[in-house]
Chains A and B, each alone.
Chain A
């Protein structure tokens, strides 16, 4: 079936246009979700070699979520578990970002600083944060301090390198303008270098936040008495598999929410980018 376009210049296949509209709508990615949920609920339980106590089910997850929402987990409400994890991430991330941004700016702006710290941070960045957990446990004990240090370190390493790379990529023409107008070093840094490298800094923030979230859960799996990571580990020990899935889903949703917040900040702050 063909339909004439409004301009009258060309004929657009009606079905193809509808398909394009559907593909761009939020219903399209939801299709996969619906398929996975249906498969999980109706097909997986009937596969003989998969014990249902390991697989769980969407209906069971919903049930567990209701129970957790009303009764909490092991005397701690679900909200408290979530807040506990989010609080650690935010504190750790903020400490990392506050330290990393000025150091990264200096590393990019002053070559001598960049050459001094760059290889060291570059060496640390690919080392998985989990590898530091035993050392941090020894240094800071099993309290919150160690987990926050671990998160700070993770976000710090990503933000510091993203910032210094952003500063190094500031167009020469902008710096030339600064020299032409005899701007002071501080003014050049604040009024030209910082805004010009902001896209890179915010990418570092976004990556740092995503990794911080991943690290907090891992840290709580090892040594914590509350938080989503603790809830998952504890529930798994007693085969409460639907509770484990509730924890995993909440971690994913909060991760998406945090990423969405950063995307929003990026769009607002960097409205001038790529236009």
Chain B
């Protein structure tokens, strides 16, 4: 049933949402089965089903306010579905879990803590995360390693108000990655950043995925290029009550090199094609 758009040498394999009903293969990290969500009389999500295989990154795109964040919240265990269910690692989601790392648009660093203490917070106090370290010294060594990795060691003693938006995003990412989550939930994590900083964050994430390719993720974004750069699959959502109306398999393999990818003409062409797919939805707003 997969259709290929005619795009020359690089085309987008896409399928309609109806093919995604009731996914349940054993190697899926995330399974969303017939999820609906209603707030009062308003139905936000309508019978959504899709899956994310192990070690793959999926991306949700769609009009503003269509319910992408609600869906991510249901997968993360922060909200309950009105109907249907979400499964992570074969277990039905009943609440938040440290195995899911959540990063949002507002970095949500604690303003009263330094960068160092913010990054260390979860592993210091989180139930089930503390036991990963045999000693505080080992924990601090890991914190230092992650701060180095996100390029913030020089700002370790600074407070969130003293650092830039990009540095905050790096710190938030470092805090989450340090907990070693097997599932990354990224809710427009770079939306508040300027284009240059956002590209540096894309580069950082791709570098991290290259070093650690066992990460599964769900990314919400309005930036099609971001979705194409970082994800394996794009799910296009309709206006509310939202459904998944297109699934697009991104034809870039792993590992991905940011500098090479952004220079390829295929990226621009793919972006254009995805925008063409989105146009009828956006025009209907």
Map CB proximity to B onto A237-275 as digits: 1 under 8 Å, 0 otherwise.
Answer: 000000000000000000000000000000000011101
Stretch binding the partner chain, chosen from B21-29, B42-50, B60-68, B100-108: B100-108
Looking at the complex, which one of A174, A179, A191 makes contact with B108 (CB distance below 8 Å)? A174
Map CB proximity to A onto B17-61 as digits: 1 under 8 Å, 0 otherwise.
Answer: 000000000000000000000000000000000000000000000
Map CB proximity to B onto A165-182 as digits: 1 under 8 Å, 0 otherwise.
Answer: 000000101101101111
Map CB proximity to A onto B86-105 as digits: 1 under 8 Å, 0 otherwise.
Answer: 00000000011110111010
Closest residue of chain A to B172, judged by CB? Answer: A177
Map CB proximity to B onto A138-156 as digits: 1 under 8 Å, 0 otherwise.
Answer: 0000000000000000000
User: B76 an interface residue at 8 Å Cβ cutoff?
Assistant: yes
Question: Are the CB atoms of A182 and B96 closer together than 8 Å?
Answer: yes
A251 to B159, CA, bound (A): 39
Question: Are the CB atoms of A183 and B96 closer together than 8 Å?
Answer: no
Question: Are the CB atoms of A198 and B127 closer together than 8 Å?
Answer: no
Chain A residues within 8 Å of B240, by CB: none
Interface size bracket, B side: 20 to 34
Known pairs A173-B108, A195-B112, A198-B112; A181 contacts B78 (CB<8 A): no
User: B268 an interface residue at 8 Å Cβ cutoff?
Assistant: no
Question: Are the CB atoms of B108 and A182 closer together than 8 Å?
Answer: no
User: B111 an interface residue at 8 Å Cβ cutoff?
Assistant: yes
**Cβ < 8 Å to B, chain A residues 202-261:** none
User: A184 an interface residue at 8 Å Cβ cutoff?
Assistant: yes
Measured between C-beta atoms, what is the minimum distance from A243 to chain B in Å? 47
Chain B residues within 8 Å of A174, by CB: 108, 110
Chain B residues within 8 Å of A184, by CB: 127
Chain B residues within 8 Å of A191, by CB: 121, 125
Measured between C-beta atoms, what is the minimum distance from A273 to chain B in Å? 7
Closest residue of chain B to A198, judged by CB? Answer: B112
Chain A residues within 8 Å of B108, by CB: 171, 173-174, 177
**Cβ < 8 Å to A, chain B residues 152-176:** 159-162
Known pairs A173-B108, A198-B112, A272-B112; A183 contacts B127 (CB<8 A): yes
Chain A residues within 8 Å of B102, by CB: 176-177, 180
User: A115 an interface residue at 8 Å Cβ cutoff?
Assistant: no
Chain A residues within 8 Å of B255, by CB: none
Chain A residues within 8 Å of B96, by CB: 176, 179-180, 182
Which of B76, B95, B96, B100 has most A Cβ within 10 Å? Answer: B96
User: B122 an interface residue at 8 Å Cβ cutoff?
Assistant: yes
User: A110 an interface residue at 8 Å Cβ cutoff?
Assistant: no
Closest residue of chain B to A176, judged by CB? Answer: B78
B interface majority secondary structure: loop
Chain B residues within 8 Å of A195, by CB: 110, 112
User: B85 an interface residue at 8 Å Cβ cutoff?
Assistant: no
User: B221 an interface residue at 8 Å Cβ cutoff?
Assistant: no
User: A90 an interface residue at 8 Å Cβ cutoff?
Assistant: no
A58 to B203, CA, bound (A): 72
Measured between C-beta atoms, what is the minimum distance from B53 to chain A in Å? 23
Map CB proximity to A onto B117-156 as digits: 1 under 8 Å, 0 otherwise.
Answer: 0000110011111000000000000000000000000000
Chain A residues within 8 Å of B106, by CB: 173
Closest residue of chain A to B160, judged by CB? Answer: A272
Looking at the complex, which one of B104, B110, B126 makes contact with A182 (CB distance below 8 Å)? B126
Known pairs A195-B110, A272-B111; A181 contacts B160 (CB<8 A): no
User: B179 an interface residue at 8 Å Cβ cutoff?
Assistant: yes
Question: Are the CB atoms of B129 and A181 closer together than 8 Å?
Answer: yes
User: A192 an interface residue at 8 Å Cβ cutoff?
Assistant: yes
Chain B residues within 8 Å of A177, by CB: 102, 108, 122
Measured between C-beta atoms, what is the minimum distance from B63 to chain A in Å? 23
Question: Are the CB atoms of B98 and A181 closer together than 8 Å?
Answer: yes
Question: Are the CB atoms of B110 and A192 closer together than 8 Å?
Answer: yes
Question: Are the CB atoms of A181 and B111 closer together than 8 Å?
Answer: no
A171 to B97, CA, bound (A): 20
Question: Are the CB atoms of B76 and A180 closer together than 8 Å?
Answer: yes
Looking at the complex, which one of B100, B112, B159, B162 makes contact with A180 (CB distance below 8 Å)? B100
Chain B residues within 8 Å of A171, by CB: 108
Measured between C-beta atoms, what is the minimum distance from B224 to chain A in Å? 26
Question: Are the CB atoms of A181 and B125 closer together than 8 Å?
Answer: yes
Question: Are the CB atoms of B104 and A272 closer together than 8 Å?
Answer: no
Known pairs A173-B104, A180-B96; A272 contacts B125 (CB<8 A): no
User: A53 an interface residue at 8 Å Cβ cutoff?
Assistant: no
A73 to B146, CA, bound (A): 68
In order of increasing CB-CB distance, the 3 nearest A-B pairs are: A181-B126, A275-B161, A182-B127
Known: A181-B121, A195-B112; 15 extra A-B contacts, CB below 8 A, are A171-B108, A173-B104, A176-B78, A176-B96, A180-B98, A180-B102, A181-B125, A182-B98, A183-B126, A187-B125, A191-B121, A196-B112, A273-B111, A275-B161, A275-B162
Identify 10 residue pairs between A and B in the complex whose beta-carbon atoms are under 8 Å apart, listed by A's number: A177-B108, A180-B76, A181-B98, A182-B98, A182-B127, A182-B129, A272-B112, A272-B159, A275-B161, A275-B162
